[in-house]
Amino acid sequence: MAASGPAPGSSGMPQGPVMDREEVDRALARLGAEHEAIETSLLALQDHAGRRLLEGAELTGTTKARWATAEQTITMLWAYYDAYTAVLGKVRAVRTRRRWPGQGELKELTELLRGDLVTVPGSALSGSPRLSERFTLDGVVERMNKGYALALDVVVTADTVWSALPARIDMLAAELQRTRSLAHSVGVRPGEHPSGDDLDEITTELTLLRAEVISDPLAFWTGASPSSAPGGGRPDTERYDRAARALEDVRREIEAVLGVRQDAERRLMLLRDVLSRADRTLTEAREARGEVLAKIAASDVPAVSGPSTVLHEQLALAADYRRRSQWHRLSPLLESLEQRAEEELHRARESLTAVTAPLAVRAELRGRLDAYRAKVGRHGMVDDPVLVERYDAARRMLWSAPCDLRAAEQAVFRYQQAAAEALGPYPGAGSERAPQPRAGGGQEGGWDAPTRPGQTRGPGGT
């Protein structure tokens, strides 16, 4: 928000001589810019994600008290802004009466610009017990700057804590859940093993910590000051860090229990990862197929099969063998699954490549068209009517949906021919037809024979 100007005299009337026309116009220009900046700042504060979260949360403690004050401050800022706007409107009205204001008008403008004419309600923001207060235009801007900084600091500080801690707590809780499941699988349970008791304590601490962070984020701010300004402080992660260290200690203990099972578990995890990547690739291929059918006309797009249920069932069976320590059955099953999972991932990648081939062809045609045009441009013939017409026709085809690849390729070929005819054969060339520009490479200034329709270079062909 804008900076404040000089304060008025104690009598409420402006100090100093009557302003001349240039001084009035400069003051109006500055106040207009300040008015716009104030409005922009208040609207940004109104739309701030942190403010919306504070309004919707069930707050407690420090945050509840500071937000109550900040909320009242924001309401008063709008009241101050309205009063400021009203007086500024009066100044503009007086100034627009005449292009060259007389002495009486200049005196009136001086009083409006420097006098205590902005009346605002008294509030906790000012610490005044009076029902209303009077300020100069510059004085009310100074007061708004102060209130805006206080309100914004509460909003930004709370938003910073909410952005930093809950997500990290959730990630740690998810890791805790995975560790608990692993612990149960190897017999590490509460009441039976110290690490099982530790897992229960960490679970309780994370649950309490998350609830407290959500309801009272400002209580988790530490540093030289409660301000969110640079150097003022940062989110307090001490309790989170302590829980994370405790979980790491438990994890190391469980790893010692795992021992000989480590290799089998590692292989199962890799299998899950490979099958997961295959499933995601197939999902991507199905989505890409819909995109191709929507963007490319009359294109033969192969169907995409779903994930292999047999492999997933056998993976579940392998996990069951590991839980029951049936290593003699697990080992040969893992060897078979590892090979078939890699084949499944390869099949998924091939499906993705096949269905996206038309998009790759379209991208190659676009690149070739732009390369030809750049070549023509370097010879100063980009505005040739025939070239412009054929370029626009090809571009419309390539940048429209659905795109007819065959027609677009022919349009690119026609532009290629026109470019070759316009530029003439390369010096020393002996061919009967004009050589054509090579898209995306080759010697600078070099030319290739034209690529005819049906001979599109690029993944998948036409």
pLDDT at 437 (0 to 100): 41
Task: Name, in order, each residue with C-beta under 8 angstroms of 211's C-beta and a sequence gap of 6 or more.
Answer: none
State the Cα–Cα distance between residues 223 and 214, nearest whole angstrom. Answer: 20
C-beta separation of 264 from 338 below 8 A: no
- Confidence at 230, pLDDT banded by 50, 70, 90: low
How far apart are alpha carbons 105 and 234 in whole angstroms?
Answer: 53
CB 344 within 8 A of CB 311: yes
Higher pLDDT, 183 or 2: 183
Residue 363: both structure tokens together = 């991208």
The token pair at 445 is: 């200034």
Is 136 in contact with 118 (CB distance < 8 Å)?
Answer: yes
Selected residue with higher pLDDT from 429 and 113: 113
Contact yes or no for 151/73 (Cβ under 8 A): yes
User: Using 50, 70 and 90 to split pLDDT, how confident is the model at 427?
Assistant: very low
Share of the chain above pLDDT 70, in %: 77
DSSP 3-state assignment of 14? coil
Of residues 123 and 73, the one with the higher pLDDT is 73
- Least Cα distance to 116 among 94, 95, 143, 146 occurs for 143
CA dihedral sign of residues 27, 32, 36, 38: positive
Contact yes or no for 436/447 (Cβ under 8 A):
yes
Where residue 234 falls among pLDDT bands split at 50, 70, 90? confident
Residue 71 has pLDDT above 80, yes or no: yes
In 356-442, alpha helices (H): 357-378, 385-398, 405-423
Predicted pLDDT at 113: 72
The closest of 66, 70, 112 to 91, measured between CA atoms, is 112
- Which of 256, 247, 144 lies closest to 203 in space, CA to CA? 247
- Band (368; pLDDT cuts 50, 70, 90): confident
What is the average per-residue pLDDT within 1-9? 39
Examine the pLDDT at 205 and tell me if it is beyond 90: yes
Tell me the pLDDT tens digit for each residue of 297-317. 756 777 777 778 888 898 898
Report residue 448's pLDDT band, with 50, 70 and 90 as the boundaries.
very low
- Of these ranges, 93-102, 249-258, 364-373, the one predicted with the greatest mean pLDDT is 364-373
Please determine, for residue 281, whether its predicted confidence score (pLDDT) is greater than 80: yes
- Using the predicted structure, report yes or no on whether residue 15 has a pLDDT greater than 70: no
Task: Identify the pLDDT of residue 231.
Answer: 52
Q: Provide the pLDDT for residue 131.
A: 62
DSSP string, 228-288: -STTT-EE--HHHHHHHHHHHHHHHHHHHHHGGGHHHHHHHHHHHHHHHHHHHHHHHHHHH
pLDDT average, residue stretch 162-186:
89
Q: Report the pLDDT value the prediction gives residue 246, as an integer from 0 to 100.
A: 94
Q: How far apart are CA 343 and CA 134, in angstroms?
A: 80
Question: Mean pLDDT: which of 136-145, 202-211, 340-349 is highest?
Answer: 202-211
First to last CA, the chain: 59
- In this prediction, what percent of the chain has a pLDDT beyond 90? 11
Residue 11 is classified by DSSP as T
What average pLDDT does the chain have? Answer: 77
Lowest mean pLDDT among 78-92, 320-334, 418-432: 418-432
Q: How far is CA 400 from CA 287, 293, 366, 373, in A?
A: 20, 13, 12, 19
